[in-house]
A and B are shown apart, each in its own frame.
Chain A
């Protein structure tokens, strides 16, 4: 197998697995930049995937055809946003430990989604398969470009490119708009932001809600492009992987996107590695654990220091020094 052929397998596979991670880790960027740690990304993805599954099935039934998964992603975004408000209320207004609240959110999502699946499908632990996925396609025109076309634009999904575009958009919002400046200020020094008349709670609510929206999209994209049905094992660690990508990307939207790509690459290698010469001799465990080991190494500061927002994880109590 030539190197070129290897690339035509690995790159599209990387783009496919990275897309849900990109969306979810961008959600994490919003939440943590506003000063709220979100361990609950896993649960938000589960809610997104579950919502996407049942809405796609419903919309297909209603005869919307190929539009169903796309509309389902939007519904999942809304569901994720609403679900994340639990985390917002408990950790911002009720001043609960944000890690505790995040852990509980994951619990609740895992329990609630399977509970509802059993309710809707007469005790079965999984949804039926959706028939209209977002398929791998060749992007018209671009796929014809010699060399680059087959690598980047064949056997890919639109969601991957959408994810990359959105991460640039998120970078713009967070670093180039007044809203982004306010969001970052309440995450770095909420008391100073409060003094300047910024509503700290409101900004943090928005941050958490956006993490829910993006986590929901991430879960939905994972469902409509990769798994096609929802059960207990659908979201098993994807959210924590996105959390790792957020940290690995140093709480920066483009960094999170890059880290997600890299983690997607590692996952793609662990899945497709068997077909590729030389790599088939490397134990798959190396590729599977690589994202986590590398994140630990990055955190130790050997590869440039990763600094969380200053007030990340600290509840803001007015008047307290």
Chain B
């Protein structure tokens, strides 16, 4: 029995690792076909994010919303729900935090900063609660409803900015310093990157996911519903309420991700004509991280590093930065096809025994 467990764990770890390797290999093949030097390209990514403090700082900065988005997706996944709506929840969180910071700009930092962060989380919670209640009460599939909610968020936030918080440059005014997460200390440490205190929030969120799901009774219920709604119902758990709760908490994480962009990275919100992509990347982060807190941090670091280093790759090796997006897509395909990877390895190891 213990042997079996070991084998399963090893296998589950194998899939993301093999997927990343295959994804990077495919990226290299694409570069070779078109006539770029893949070694130079990957080298420039690694060198920039590990040796240049600016790019290192930017990588951690990019990780903050990415990890929060990944936590949001992973949390819902654990309850058997696919939250594609992280993108929308992130946008409303972004907007609410910036709006709160501007409207209550006269308050001191000790009150305003936590209040603005909470406003972002609360807006995300609302945006997650709606698909939650639609699923629990009306059996509306969350994949469809969260996609709809994304677009409602996109157009609504753009409308609200345009009509109530507009300033030159198609954006809101800059938030008051009392609501800002930015830090000259961190910026100086990383030679002027936009690294901000939001990473503390991300760390707390990662810890919160672990604590809620694995250390509380409610978390046990949430995971039980994810494993088998019917069995949970039979055991006396309220499945509908757990679905609503899960998507609401997921929305909080996503909303916080948006707040980090608003209060930390940008200090304002632009009128978005298209999505930020962070929410969709969060799906990739969660999948590759096997929906575990530690896994989300690791895969978040990988994707943030690839995206930040991708810019140096473009300037140094001349490879368009879109290659990174192609590699991420391929990694998701490979992780998703875990069944085949397992099967192939099963075949190989069986041959080894003969």
Contacts and interface: CB of A to CB of B under 8 A. Distances in A.
Nearest to B330: A108
A107 B328 contact: yes
Nearest to A317: B339
A107 B152 contact: no
Interface in B130-177: 134, 137-138, 140-141, 143-145, 147-152, 154-156, 158-159, 163
Interface stretch (B47-55, B230-238, B280-288): B280-288
Contacts of B273: 233, 236
Nearest to A104: B332
Of A123, A237, A291, most B-chain CB atoms within 10 Å:
A237
A232 B277 CA distance: 12
Interface string B4-32: 00000000000000000000000000000
Nearest to B163: A283
B345 interface: no
Interface in B293-326: 320, 322-326
Interface string A278-297: 00000111001101110110
A94 B340 contact: yes
Given A100-B336, A103-B283, A110 B325 contact: yes
A162 interface: no
A299 B337 contact: no
B140 A299 contact: yes
Contacts of A289: 151-152, 155-156
A299 B163 CA distance: 31
Interface residues of A, number: 48
A112 B138 contact: no
Contact of A243 (B147, B326, B329): B147
Given A247-B144, A299-B144, A96 B336 contact: yes
Contact of B140 (A115, A292, A296): A296
Interface in A91-108: 94-97, 99-101, 103-108
B233 to A, nearest CB: 20
Contact of A99 (B82, B155, B322): B82
Contacts of A107: 280, 284, 325-326, 328-329, 332
Contact of B333 (A101, A112, A115): A101
A240 B148 CA distance: 8
Interface residues of B, number: 46
Interface in A226-250: 232-233, 236-237, 240-241, 243-244, 247
A119 interface: yes
A96 B287 contact: no
Given A90-B337, A101-B333, A107-B329, A118 B322 contact: yes
B319 to A, nearest CB: 9
B333 A299 contact: no
Given A118-B320, A296-B148, A300-B140, A97 B336 contact: yes
B68 interface: no
Contact of B141 (A240, A292, A308): A308
A48 B210 CA distance: 43
B143 to A, nearest CB: 6
Given A39-B143, A115-B320, A104 B134 contact: no
Contact of B145 (A90, A237, A299): A299
Interface string B339-352: 11000000000000
A237 B274 CA distance: 8
B84 interface: yes
18 contacts: A39-B84, A39-B147, A90-B337, A94-B337, A100-B332, A100-B336, A101-B333, A103-B283, A104-B329, A111-B323, A112-B322, A236-B274, A237-B274, A243-B144, A247-B144, A283-B159, A289-B151, A296-B149
Given A99-B143, A104-B332, 13 more contacts: A86-B333, A90-B336, A96-B336, A104-B284, A104-B336, A108-B325, A118-B320, A119-B34, A119-B320, A232-B274, A241-B151, A285-B159, A299-B144
Interface of B: 34, 82, 84, 134, 137-138, 140-141, 143-145, 147-152, 154-156, 158-159, 163, 273-274, 280, 283-284, 287, 320, 322-326, 328-330, 332-333, 335-340
